[in-house]
Amino acid sequence: MDEPTSTIVRPADPAGRILFAISRVLAICGGILLCAVAALVTVSVIGRSAFSAPVPGDFELVAIGTGICVFAMLPYCQIIRGNVLVDFFMAKAPLRFKVLCDLIGNIAFFIIASLLTWRMIYGGFDMYTNNEKSMTINFPRWTTFPVSVLLMGFLSLVILYTIWRSFEEIKQNRFLDPK
C-alpha cells in the first residue's frame, strides 16, 4: 500500500513468524549468491579485457545464479508487502478497498505461483529425461529445478499466508501491521 517500508514489522502469529524467519534466511542466501554472481561477472570481464581469458560459461552461470536468487528473494518480498504495488492509484483509496485489492492481488499471485511450480516440476523431469545440458560448460540443466521448485512451493505457502492475513485485515477493517 502507500505506507513506508523502512520499518519491517514481523508477523505476530506463530505461522507468520516461522514463514518470516525462513523467508529472511532465504533472502539473505539469495543476496550472498547474487554477490557471488556479481564477483563472477567482474572476474570474467577483467579476465576478458586484461588477459583475453574470460570465465568459460559465465553467462550460463549468471543465468542459473540469478534465477535461483530471484526465487529465493520472492517469499521475503511477499511477506513484507515489498512486491510491486501501484501506490499512485491507491493513495487516496479507503483502507478497506486497499486491503481488498491486496487480497485480490495475492489470490492472482497464488494462482500464478502455483501454476509455475506445477509446470516447473514437469519441466525439470523433461530436462532430466532428455539429459539437457548447457551449451558452453555442459552443466546439466535439470539440477537447478529441484531447488527452484522448492523455493516456488515455499513462495506459494507464503502467499497463502498473506491471503489469510488479508482476510483477517478485511474482517478487522485495518492492517495487521501497525504501520
Report domain extents, the chain. 14-172
What pLDDT does residue 2 have? 44
Q: How confident is the model at residue 7 (pLDDT cuts 50, 70, 90)?
A: low
Residue 19: what pLDDT?
97
pLDDT at position 9 over 70: yes
Statement: residue 4 has pLDDT above 80: no
pLDDT over 70, % of the chain: 90
Q: Residue 118 CB: number of other CB atoms within 10 A? A: 14
Query: How would residue 93 be classed by pLDDT, with cut points 50, 70 and 90?
Result: confident
pLDDT at 101: 84
Nine-digit cell at 32? Answer: 550472498
Lowest mean pLDDT among 29-33, 48-52, 146-150, 169-173: 169-173
Cα distance between residue 41 and residue 54, in whole Å: 9
pLDDT at 6 over 60: no
Q: What is the pLDDT of residue 5?
A: 47
Q: What pLDDT, on a 0 to 100 scale, did the predictor assign at position 174?
A: 67
Closest CA to 1 of 171, 174, 158: 174
pTM (2 d.p.): 0.88
Q: Is 89 exposed, middle or buried (0-12, 13-18, 19+ CB in 10 A)?
A: exposed
pLDDT number for residue 83: 74
